[in-house]
Each structure stands twice: as C-alpha cells, then as structure tokens.
Amino acid sequence: MTRPTIWSSKAPLILASNSAIRSDLLKQAGFEFSIQTPKIDERKIESDFLVKSKEPRDLAKTLAHAKAEAISDKAPEAWIIGADQILELEGQIFHKAKTRQEVEKNLEYFAGKTHHLHSAVAILKGNSITKIFVETAALKMRILTKDDIKIYCDLAGDMIFESVGSYQYEGLGRHLFESVEGREDVIYGLPLDPIIKFFRSAECLKF
C-alpha cells in the first residue's frame, strides 16, 4: 500500500538522522524524505560548547544544527532536518550507556526522580539557519529495586544501549515511569508540531 504524501515542495527533504523512531514519526505525518547520517564528532562539539555554557537546551540546539549543517553542506538545494536530544538530571547530562553495569547504575540514579528530555530540531536550506527550536518533556521514573532493574535489562536486551536513558519509551521503557509531562513526539526526539507549522508556512505542504 502506497503511503500518501503531504510534501509538495520541489526541493527534496532530508532527515539528518539514522533514528528509526524519528523516521517513523515523519512517515506517519505524511512527509516524503530521504535519510542521510551526519558524520560529526558530537562529544567534541559538546565539550567545546560546555566551556561557554551549561544550558542543556542550548546544547541540544547546537548539536541539531551541527547535524543539519553537515548534510546541508553536501545538499544545499534540499531542506534538511537535524535533530538531537539531551537527557538532563540535576544539572548532569547523560549519554548512551556502553555497558550493562553503566545502564544499571544510571537507572538506579534515575529511579524515583524526574529527568528532562530536551529535543531540538534545526531546519536548514542552502546551509543557512531557517528555523531552530527545542521542546522539553519531564519524566518521573518510579522507584525501582535492583531486581526490577535486572529484570528490565534482561527483557530489553541490547535495546538498553540505543537511547540516552537506556529505555525506549514506546516499548518496555514505559513500564519504568510513574508520570510524564510532555508530548510523546518530544520524548521520541522529534517535536512534530513546530516542524509541520514551519513547513506549512514555507508552503511546502499540500494543505
């Protein structure tokens, strides 16, 4: 079955991300696009940024812009969507865990607390910033025992290494939370409403 498209611009649209959930969100909203993975040194960009600022929302925007810019350099005729997400808890920024031990340590620290996911999007065309924004969701993780965390990690498998919080909220990760404030697309790392609003104003959509 052919998926209907809402995209009407003659300029192509490129998603500068290899995230399956971000791609699915755009597809479900009717966008027609290709995917290119930006090759940037995120930790170097973050390190340089943190010398000047400790604001995680601005870091998310900086990384989203860097991803979009890396693709826009190669495809200046296209619309580029770059996206990034920062997990912040008590002023500390967390990245994807590399080991099971690190996952368990992080989840023990998150348990019973509220952390924030800052999801940023940068839209570029012709390598100039057209739109950049960030939205935040607050997630309170329920109290977890060591056994709870062990069982979760066993069930989730290698998925625990695929996201900054070691959970995929659209799957087993939802069972970790007591309450959530914010839209699911923000939690998934691609705030759709402002993306749709922007492209409609830029006359890139059919209606």
CB atoms within 10 A of CB 10: 6
CB atoms within 10 A of CB 14: 22
**Residues 131, 12: Cα–Cα separation, whole Å:** 17
Q: Is 148 a catalytic residue?
A: no
* Residues in contact with 128: Cβ distance below 8 Å, sequence separation at least 6, in sequence order: none
Residue reference for tokens 């939690």: 187
Asked whether the beta carbons of 141 and 94 are under 8 A apart, the reply is no
Given 24, 41, 84, 147, the catalytic residue: 84
Give the residue numbers marked as catalytic: 84
